[in-house]
Amino acid sequence: MSPTASSLLDTSAVVVVGDEPWLAAYADALHQESGATVRRVSTAAAARETLSRERADCVVADYTLPNGTGIDLVRRVREEMPTLPVVLGTADGSESIAAEAIEAGVTDYLRVSEPVSDAVDDALRRTEAAIREARRSETRRERARQFDAVFHDAESATWVLDPEGTLTRVNRAAREAVAADADAVVGEPFWTLPWWGDDRTRADVRRLVDAARDGESGHAVLPRDAVAGSRVLELSVRPVTDGQGELVSIIVDSDEITDRVDLERELRQSEELHRVTLNNMTDTVLMTDADGEYTYVCPNVHFIFGYTADEIRDLGTIDDLLGDDLFDREALAEEGVLKNIETTATDKAGREHTLLVNVREVSIQDGTLLYSCRDITKRKQREQALATLQETAREFLYAETHQEIAHHVVDDTAAVLDLDASAVYRFDADDNHLEPVAHSRAMREVHGPLPAVHADGSDLTSHSFVEDEPLFFADVHDSDRLTNPATDLRSAAYIPLGDHGVFVAGSTDVGAFDDVTRELADLLAATAEAALDRVDRESKLREQDRELQRRNDQLTALNRINETIREIDQAIVRSETREEIDHTVCDRLTADGRFRFAWIGTLDDAGETVTPQTRAGTDQGYLDARSIPVSADGVDPAGRTAATGEVTHVANVAANLRAASWRKDAISRDLLSVVSVPLVYNDLSYGVLTVYAETPDAFDGTVRAVLAELGETIAAAISASERKRALLTTSLTRVEYAVADPSFVLARLADAADCALTYEGGVRQTAGGNDVFVTVEDAPLDAVVDATRRLTVVEDARPIRGGDAGGVVRLRLSEPFLAAELADHGAVLQSATATPDGAATLAVDVPDGVEVRNVTRFVSDRFADADLTSKQTREQASEHGFYASVLDRMTDRQLEVLETAYYSGFFESPRQATGETVADSLGISPQAFYQHIRTAQRKLFAALIEDHTPVATPPSG
């Protein structure tokens, strides 16, 4: 590539789309031969994602793409980024493909042919050309925008013509010049407009336009009768060309000089008045003889040239002042007057001035030629500044960052304001200071390093920002807020850029800011502020779009996982066994590609290894190839969850690949992210559920939370299935435990009452608490009731049967009793005995189908010191259906009354407690007690007679 291409591509970002070999070679060449930022993607979707996140100067794509074509990509890019260059290449090109690509808006179309090196070179050249043309287009658009801002703010009448001389735009001052509808004449030749009073004027105007079409600037003064409104205008016609020198428009400016013309006429009428006027006008009038020797020099000659009249005479002839060959002598002799001759002259201080000179033949004393010189230097500078400002505004239009805009402001300050020293401070709201983000070399040389400024209004920069006040100084050293007295800056301007910061410009000269410079400085700052506002708005919109997309993605994922969870919940409700539950969960999680692989495992008897029980999806032998130890450090996620009882999440299996062998086994099977959740219900573990996905970061916080809740649901369902199996089994295991734990309620009460207590069944969970019936041995019941007042866990205690030698007490507990907790795990607490020394023994029946080790683990976790002392298998009558039938028929209140009556000895013969006594202990009337008892008895007999199948009695002897 050429040095120009290299330098252009060095600052460019190129997105390469596709997997074709020529694209790979192209990307390598682009990376090796330039400093370009290259982003390679395979699909159109990935390309659009990259473009939404990163800046790109060009997209180079192949026609053939996965899931679509390069032309589809071009169309989508054109919808979102109309000006981004796109180069499309293909090795199988055809005219139809080329036509379709052009219709889609492709920037360039490349047919790839052998050898690939030639195709790569061609693609590099076309990439450079596309980027260069795009940047030129951006510059042109920015200049047009800039020109519009200046055009509408102009005070003088201005017309814009197309290259043919047709009127295209009119500013406000020009509209006000005539009582006609300016919009009605847009599109007409400029010289035919109602501004011009006669045919001769129209011809003069046309000659000026024709000269501009030939690339020459022109000036003319139109007399009073030649202009609508009886005014005298001075026209300035200037051609505007593009970067290739082609004429793109013609700008016509006019100043009203009616007063000046009237004054000249009056001067001719009175020489004295003429001299007085000359002394006070800014134009300079000179008179010479035919040889150029001065015969008259007006006293105000110093306004333009800085010399006195005598010093002008000492310089030599008029040619030494205005230059040789200023005008054509023959043309002057023919016309009598030559107007608006543009020339340059140097003043006494060495500064160049642009002058408009009128030359007229006269006969005044010894003078034969009269020169009228008008200084239009500021007007020319203003025209040039406006043109530069137009280009700056175009650059602002396509700037994407505050930093980029700040550099544009600094780079263009010299051309717009003719000031070399400039800087832009940006406000940092977090630190409350103004940070210099861009400055010119001249600013650093004359001012020194630019420190950050605290936004407290104490110095000039922060004061301008805080007060939102532009500050202009003829000599900044006169300000009491100047914090750097050593600065060489003299003239200085501080202009706030809204809430974004401050623009600073200055010069080592005193008084550098005239009205025009101030106006241009304000305009440059306003343009920059508007660009900064646009960048902020676009940045917020992009952020909102990204946030909306992120939320949409989250919602889609959440809806999908919730749908899966609903399916699983509905399925496990219908499942009868744990095997069905496990298979249902794994199958539903991996159905329809939701997740790649899922499995459920349980701990072995020793609790050292997780053993897979059920799996679904595609694991390609992952579980077969390894064992999964239970450990919290550096092992498979399932082993870690089994050890810690917490959710384990690995967002990217490929990260720290060599840290654990399981990662290599997983990544080789495309298992790239994993989450493992514990299956725990009522503090009892039923194993772990582990789910794998084929993409990284597949399990966000919401998905992990949902899966964790699913783990609890699965564990609850497994527990329920085991309890159901326990009700249907006729085989059970009775296990006995010796417990030494002072926190056990029976042990605490036995110690407080100094007696032995026994629980032999009868526990009810009601809205008011947990009621437990306890047998007291060899101690007064009143003493036991008094002792319960020292135990916060016992809310109420009532004697049921007995007296000083013992009996039965009903305890109402604020916490679930051990029997209810064991029932949740499918086990039945048959008895519990506690002695005053704090020791207790438990007898628990574990039905077949419930793991004894799970019950033992629960007891061990529940009590500080628990030892298994006995374990034996028993057969029991299959009466669970009958028992469940009775419970289904009775209300909680009826069952409470029945149990209280039973433990009170109401059913003993003889009765140990009357109905009135039992009713009093329940806090109800005797009539209500007897009604509950009769109802309960009737339901019991109904279940026995109607529902229970009698067992045939064998015939006697």
Q: How confident is the model over 719-776, as pLDDT tens digits? A: 777 766 655 555 678 898 999 888 888 888 888 888 888 986 666 656 556 788 888 8
| DSSP 8-state code for residue 877 | -
* Sign of the C-alpha dihedral computed for residues 618, 622, 628 and 634 taken in this order: negative
And the tokens for 322? Answer: 């205005």
Cβ-in-10-Å burial (0-12, 13-18, 19+) of 155 comes to exposed
pLDDT bucket at 947, cuts 50 / 70 / 90: low
Q: What's the predicted TM-score (pTM) here?
A: 0.37
pLDDT at 4: 41
Could you tell me if 65 and 43 are in contact, meaning their C-beta atoms sit under 8 angstroms apart?
yes
| DSSP 8-state code for residue 196 | B
Pick from 276, 301, 273: which is nearest to 371 by CA? 301
pLDDT of residue 292 exceeding 80 = yes
And the tokens for 638? Answer: 């399932």
CA–CA dist 147, 385 (Å, integer)? 10
Question: 3-class SS at 865?
Answer: coil
The strand order across the sheet containing 247-256 reads: 167-170, 157-161, 247-256, 233-241, 218-222
pLDDT at 600: 92
Question: 3-class SS at 441?
Answer: helix
Residue 382 burial (CB count, 10 A): 20
Q: What is the mean pLDDT of the chain?
A: 82
Could you tell me if 14 and 30 are in contact, meaning their C-beta atoms sit under 8 angstroms apart?
yes
Stretch (H or E) spanning 137: helix 116-153
And the tokens for 859? Answer: 């007891």
pLDDT of residue 956 exceeding 70 = no
Stretch (H or E) spanning 296: strand 294-297
pLDDT of residue 247 exceeding 60 = yes
pLDDT at 666: 86
Residues 6+ apart with CB under 8 A from 620: 669
pLDDT at 426: 92
Give the per-residue SS3 of 60-114: EEECEECCEEHHHHHHHHHHHCCCCCEEEEECCCCHHHHHHHHHHCCCEEEECCC
What digits encode the pLDDT tens for the residues 428-445?
A: 888 889 999 899 898 888
pLDDT at 955: 44
User: What residue has token string 């399981």?
Assistant: 662
Cβ-in-10-Å burial (0-12, 13-18, 19+) of 731 comes to exposed
CA–CA dist 93, 96 (Å, integer)? 8
Question: 3-class SS at 593?
Answer: helix
Could you tell me if 676 and 819 are in contact, meaning their C-beta atoms sit under 8 angstroms apart?
no
Q: Where are the alpha helices (DSSP H) in 772-875?
A: 781-788, 818-824, 852-862
Could you tell me if 762 and 773 are in contact, meaning their C-beta atoms sit under 8 angstroms apart?
yes
pLDDT of residue 879 exceeding 60 = no
State the average pLDDT over residues 866-883: 69
pLDDT at 886: 66
pLDDT at 721: 75
Question: 3-class SS at 765?
Answer: strand
pLDDT bucket at 240, cuts 50 / 70 / 90: confident
Question: 3-class SS at 358?
Answer: strand
Could you tell me if 826 and 652 are in contact, meaning their C-beta atoms sit under 8 angstroms apart?
no
Q: Where are the alpha helices (DSSP H) in 597-700?
A: 637-644, 661-667
What digits encode the pLDDT tens for the residues 539-581?
A: 888 888 888 887 787 677 677 777 777 878 777 777 777 888 8
pLDDT bucket at 953, cuts 50 / 70 / 90: very low
State the average pLDDT over residues 366-370: 89
- Cis upstream peptide for 115 (omega within 30°): yes
pLDDT of residue 796 exceeding 80 = yes
| Dihedral angle over CA of 323, 324, 328, 329, nearest 10 | 110
Could you tell me if 170 and 116 are in contact, meaning their C-beta atoms sit under 8 angstroms apart?
no
What digits encode the pLDDT tens for the residues 407-420?
A: 888 888 887 888 88
Of 299-308, 584-593, 817-826, the poorest mean pLDDT is in: 817-826
State the average pLDDT over residues 677-685: 84
Pick from 174, 206, 172, 170: which is nearest to 189 by CA? 206
pLDDT bucket at 155, cuts 50 / 70 / 90: low
User: What residue has token string 């194993």?
Assistant: 687
State the average pLDDT over residues 909-923: 80
pLDDT at 357: 93
pLDDT at 883: 61
Phi, psi of 512 (to 5 degrees): -80, -10
CA–CA dist 479, 458 (Å, integer)? 12
State the average pLDDT over residues 884-911: 75
What digits encode the pLDDT tens for the residues 572-624?
A: 777 777 888 888 889 888 888 788 999 998 887 777 888 898 999 888 888 88
* CA dist 388 → 344, 405, 419, 421, 533 (Å): 22, 15, 13, 17, 21
Top pLDDT among 838 and 453 is at: 453
| DSSP 8-state code for residue 651 | S
Question: 3-class SS at 40?
Answer: strand
Pick from 741, 751, 797: which is nearest to 774 by CA? 797
CA–CA dist 702, 700 (Å, integer)? 6
| Dihedral angle over CA of 136, 141, 143, 146, nearest 10 | -160
State the average pLDDT over residues 765-794: 81
User: What residue has token string 């009237």?
Assistant: 262
